[in-house]
Amino acid sequence: MNRLSIWWLAIRPKTLSISVTPVLLGSALSWQTHGHFSLLTFAVILISALCIQIGTNLYNDAADFEKGADTEERLGPQRAAQQGWLNAREIKLGAFISFSLAFITGIYLAWLGGIAIIILGLLSILCGYAYTAGPKPIAYSPLGELFVIIFFGFAAVGGTYYLQSQSINLSVIIIASTIGCLAAAILLVNNYRDLDGDRKVNKLTLIHYIGRPIARKVYVVMIIYPYLLLFILWQNYSWAVLLPLLSLPLAIKLIRYFLRLQISSELNQVLAQTAQLQLVYTLLLSFGLWSSTLSSSGQL
């Protein structure tokens, strides 16, 4: 492969949608609630969010290889450091550049949002680095899924909404929990697949403590919860927020597929399809929010 293809694989493109979805949803909520939407703000938030996730993914690639978590026995997709395509130093430099770009774009967002966004942005970059760096990496603890719900759900959706509308409310945070849970389900599958290898290097994730049987039940809850919440949201918004129900057959199919699988590389497909489900759910919910606003204003 050429170096461009290697770097493309190293940033893990199949998972980048979890950075896109909160920006879409937060912007749609701002438009639905206040009629406020800035394309420039949307673009800058999106670039910043993607840079933070890419930096996190790259540093994770290098750090897991150095700690011995990524070996030839690994069931997951190939990693750049593990395969020798790039050395750990190169990958860490790529992560540093990505985090730096997030910081630079964050200057504009800080100007828009003030101290609250400055704190949120710095915490996001710091935690992205601390995910696999430092003496007690988040990825090597049972807090990984919680980290994802907080930063790819509450923080990302709430931060986007605040930057678009200059306000925040509890309903936005509640809605943010839906895609936060779906994002955490992606990580749950990843850790479920890698449990045996992770234990060898003292990477004790949530699955280590609860075990695979309970982890399967947790996955089901994470997938079903966003759909149950839609019926509560319906009372405060409109029928349009029920559009994600169109993706429910896909969710049920995915649950059934996951529950019958043995530990194998097929779990990579479950991980990718869980990311796809989160994207489809968010697109449908965001479209519902946008369309309900246009409909009420007579533009549809």
Do 156 and 83 touch, CB atoms closer than 8 A?
A: no
pLDDT of residue 240: 76
pLDDT band at 129 (very low <50, low <70, confident <90, very high): confident
- What is the per-residue pLDDT across 60-94, written as a single tens digit (0 to 9) for each? 888 888 877 666 666 667 788 888 888 889 999 99
Q: Which two tokens stand for residue 43?
A: 């673009």
Q: 64: how many CB neighbours lie within 10 A of its CB?
A: 27
Residues 16, 173: Cα–Cα separation, whole Å: 22
Distance CA 27, CA 164 (A): 6
Interval 42-46 mean pLDDT: 96
Residues near 221 by beta carbon (within 8 Å), at least 6 away in sequence: none
- Cα 272 to Cα 251: distance, rounded to the nearest angstrom: 13
Angle at alpha carbon of residue 279, lines to 108 and 129, rounded to 5°: 50
Using alpha carbons, list the distances in angstroms from residue 41 to 19, 45, 46, 109, 121. 15, 6, 8, 8, 15
Q: What is the pLDDT of residue 76?
A: 66
The reported pTM is 0.91
Domains recognised in the chain with CATH numbers? 3-290 (1.10.600)
| pLDDT tens digits, one per residue of 149-164 | 999 999 999 999 999 9
